[in-house]
Amino acid sequence: MSHVSSHSPRGQTPMHTVQVLGGGSASSSAHVRSLAGGLAARGVRVTVCAPTEAADAYDLTGTGAHHVHVPRSSDPASVASLRLACADADLVHAHGLHAALRATLALTGRSTPLVVTWHTRAHAEGARARVLRLLERRVAKAAAVVLGTSSDLVDRARGRGARDARLAPVTFPAPRPVAGAAEDAEGLRHKALAELGVFGRPLIVTIGTLERQRGYDILLEATRAWRHLDPQPLLVIAGEGPERGALQRRIEGEDLPVRLVGRRDDVPEMLAAADLVVLPSSWESRSVLAQEALHARVPLVATAVGGIPELVGDAAVLVPYGDPEALATAVTRLLADPALRERLKDRGTAQAATWPTEDETVTQVLGVYDELTQPYGM
């Protein structure tokens, strides 16, 4: 951290916060890791309650935090484990709806302040959507403060009855500079292109779970419009999920210039190789992929939904959700205009510089903790 101020004054017990993480999406897990490390560096005692697999995947104990295994479940045993872990907490901070529900149940009858961060919004239809609304209302009303990672999530929390909802942008940590990166960039690009089998044609990349709300069906429709281009662009979709079978059948049945490559652990290399990144989702908060694309100086085409417009500003080409023609037009226009791609790269670098740093994010969250735990007049 660039500057550290202690939250354990001489003669006083350090503040103890419990961070509650559910299944752990990439954005919420990375945020909890960053937050735990920043708080520990400032003298705060941090306990992270999360499934062991999430704690191991993100090395949460490497932050200086204590880890307690709490399964991703709201059964009585999980709630009892969480209640025990929160017994001497000054404040509990839950990340995501289901983690917040467990924390609400665990804190029943206690006066411990609860902070909830909404990183994203759940998708449901029919009866499940009604249940989801009830859960959101219960969590929003139980929290002393709800932090939303985008303005529309703050509005949603207020609409569900939150007494105090605030914008708290979470920035995905910028990639660390690598020695000799400039010299290696072209080598990385060629290596990634070779591994993907892409030679002499534009590469378009998107990354995310293969779920309906990601808009991949609309993206496949858009690829039909660029089959006539010479050279023909290739769309590579990285990720796994329930829609894989349906997408693969459609790619083969319609002979679309698309490849599904499954989960990848070489995202930086893929982005280095990409000519464009597309994000066709029906909703996003602070998309990790959008942040990675701008950091990597790859032109981005995204849907104007959720928190995307405030995240990217003028550093991406935005299109309406559900409009394959608009998506196809944006992609073909960018591929045909190298000068526009360069302008977007520069705007992306400038926009990324406006996002809060990890240090600023920790400082904002700690300010909320202080409000809720320090007696008036301190």
pLDDT tens digits along 106-135: 999 999 999 999 998 877 888 999 999 999
Q: Which CATH class for the 181-352 domain? A: alpha beta
Average of per-residue pLDDT across 6-23: 76
Q: Is the pLDDT higher at 184 or at 303?
A: 303
Residue 161 above 80 pLDDT? yes
Of 169, 227, 341, 153, residue with least CA distance to 235: 227
- Strand stretches in 169-249, DSSP E: 203-207, 234-238
- Please give the backbone phi and psi of residue 120, each rounded to the nearest 5 degrees, phi first: -155, 180
Q: Domain segments of the chain: what residues? A: 16-171+356-373, 181-352
Asked whether the whole model's pTM tops 0.85, one would answer: yes
pLDDT of residue 7: 60
Residue 242 clears pLDDT 90, i.e. is over it: yes
pLDDT band of residue 191 (cuts 50, 70, 90) is: confident
User: What pLDDT sits at residue 11?
Assistant: 46
At residue 188 the predicted structure's pLDDT band, cuts being 50, 70 and 90, is: confident
16-171+356-373 and 181-352: same fold? yes
Which position has the token pair 């219960």? 138
**What class does CATH assign to 16-171+356-373?**
alpha beta
Q: What is the DSSP string of 242-282?
A: TTHHHHHHHHHHHT-SEEEEE--S-HHHHHHH-SEEEE--S
DSSP output for 290-341: HHHHHHTT--EEEE--TTHHHHHTTSSEEE-TT-HHHHHHHHHHHHT-HHHH
How high does pLDDT run on average in the chain?
A: 90
Q: Which two tokens stand for residue 253?
A: 């049945």
